[in-house]
Amino acid sequence: MKNAFKKYERYKKPTASWMEDIPLGWDSIPVGRIYRRVKRTNVPHEELLSVYRDHGVVPKKSRDDNFNKPSEDLSPYQLVCPENLVMNKMKAWQGSIAISCYRGIVSPAYFVYEKIKKVQCTRIKSKYIHYLLRSPIYITQYMSRSKGIRVNQWDLDPKAFEQIELLLPSPYEQTQIAKFLDYETAKIDALIEKQQQLIQLLQEKRQAVISHAVTKGLNPDAPMRDSGIPWIGEIPAHWKIKKLGHFGQLQNGLNISGDSFGSGFPFISYGDVYKNQFIPSNPSGLVRSTKEDQKKYSIERGDVFFTRTSETVDDIGIASTCLQRVEDATFAGFLIRFRPWSDDLDPVYSSFLFRNKLIQSSFTEKMNLVTRASLSQNTLKTLSVCIPPQREQAQIATHLQKQHSNFEKLARDLTQQTKLLQERRTALISAAVTGKIDVRDWQPPTHTEEEAS
């Protein structure tokens, strides 16, 4: 962060050893002297809330949160009122702590605190506390005071939390710091949103380039004909349209008990396919498979794997292609393997052909929706695909690999810029709430000043 803000004139040593010097006139008071824990249950007819690292306390309906659904019994859920402090005791070290602006209920995994009435509430500005408790210096304290109960789960004891000292400048300074951070973080958040929109547009452009190349080819002057398939449209006149079942074999993956995993032979998982355009040559998964398993569920060059089942239709039919044989390997039951009978398909061309949005969207209407989205072998067998001559496949594959590299570089640059903006946001909050910068005289700039900057 650039040193664009002045510092306080005088600093002093804090009472807490884990704090750096703080401005003269600031106090530090334990959480337990300002907030007390409350547990108000049996209020099921309230809006469901949750605490997220990026947005604090928000209604659950505002987030696409398929993996954190509420219990059918809401009686243990706790009431939260505006200005209550809400913390996930097992995820505080990840930033799951905030002051609520909403009334609603949260799951029993949370601690809920309210201001102690005898405390002079006018001295405590909730918006400032919100920023303070989510700053890096406090996140570090939650981690250091938490006890590990299992992998990536650290339980913060209420007493340990209540001993953490809160930095308290004067009420006026708290208000100023909150106003300053509201303004500055909003500007940064807007820039981050623009970067994320650019990344999304880049992904859409990449998909459009792939879809066009594998359905129209690279020669704009080639004679065209109607494919007879609505989602494909016209194709070069010399290309073929074939159903997948006419030139290859389909096979569901290995179903085996859970205690067979963790050792043994290479295993291609759902994630290996979902996350990668190409099957990893050295998969991280292991399974105790037999020679018969390895023969039936083998992984050869040219094989294409499709995700078969998922919570949502958007995650099924994602394809990954194998560019080399994986010795002694098998693949997961949540996958379907397509193995061509001949060399009609170039494997690199296949990787772009099958991992494009046009094909994935064609599955949606035929989806088997029971409790999960499911892709059947019969649906895959009837999938129509474009087959150019092999030489043309290789040309398209080379072209798309170059385009892919260009898109990847642009995406990395945008992601890095987003990361730098997020780091600046964090650094600015930390500097303001710990007194590293003095914003007592800060005022939001006028429109003229903003335009000049």
- pLDDT tens digits in sequence order for the chain, 453 residues long: 444 789 999 999 998 899 999 999 999 999 999 999 999 999 878 899 988 887 788 887 766 554 456 667 888 999 999 999 999 988 888 889 999 999 999 999 899 999 987 665 668 899 999 999 999 999 999 988 988 765 566 788 889 999 999 999 999 999 999 999 999 999 999 999 999 999 999 999 999 999 999 999 999 999 999 999 888 999 999 999 999 999 999 999 999 888 899 999 999 999 999 999 999 988 989 999 999 999 999 999 999 999 998 777 778 889 999 999 999 999 999 999 999 998 888 999 999 999 988 887 777 666 554 445 678 899 899 999 999 999 999 999 999 999 999 999 999 999 999 999 999 999 999 999 999 999 999 998 876 556 555
Say how many domains are in the chain.
Answer: 2
Q: What is the structure's pLDDT at 362?
A: 78
In the three-class reduction of DSSP (H, G, I as helix; E, B as strand; rest coil), residue 57 is classed as strand
The domain boundary residue, chosen from 168, 193, 224: 168
CA-CA-CA-CA torsion sign (426, 431, 434, 440)? negative
Residue 247: closest CA among 137, 342, 183: 342
Q: Are 154 and 139 in contact (CB under 8 A)?
A: no
176: in domain? no
Please identify which residue in the block is written with the tokens 């710990």: 434
Q: Residue 371's pLDDT is what?
A: 46
Classify residue 136: in a domain, yes or no. yes
- What are the structure tokens assigned to 191, written together? 């820039």
Which of 387, 416, 441 is the last residue before a domain boundary? 387
Q: Based on the domain organization, do 354 and 259 belong to the same domain?
A: yes
pLDDT at 408: 93
Last residue of a domain, one of 143, 168, 193: 168
280 and 164 part of one domain: no
The DSSP output letter for 103 is -
* Residue 18, pLDDT score: 92
Question: Is 201 domain-assigned?
Answer: no
- What lies within 8 Å, CB to CB, of 221 at 6+ separation is none
Position 360 in a domain: yes
Nearest to 36 by CA among 120, 123, 161: 161
- Considering the domain boundaries, does residue 217 fall inside one? no
Please check whether residue 438 lies inside any domain of the structure. Answer: no
Indicate if 155 and 273 belong to the same structural domain: no
Examine residue 212 and state whether it is found in any structural domain, yes or no. no
- Contacts with 432 (C-beta within 8 Å, 6 or more apart), sequence order: 131, 177, 180, 181, 439
In a domain, 417, yes or no: no
| Domain housing 289 | 240-387
121 Cβ contact list (under 8 Å, min separation 6): 115
Q: Provide the β-strand partners of residue 49.
A: 59
Q: Are strands 261-268 and 330-331 parallel, antiparallel or unpaired?
A: parallel
Q: Are 34 and 141 members of one domain?
A: yes
User: What are the tokens at 231?
Assistant: 């989602």
362: domain CATH number?
A: 3.90.220.20
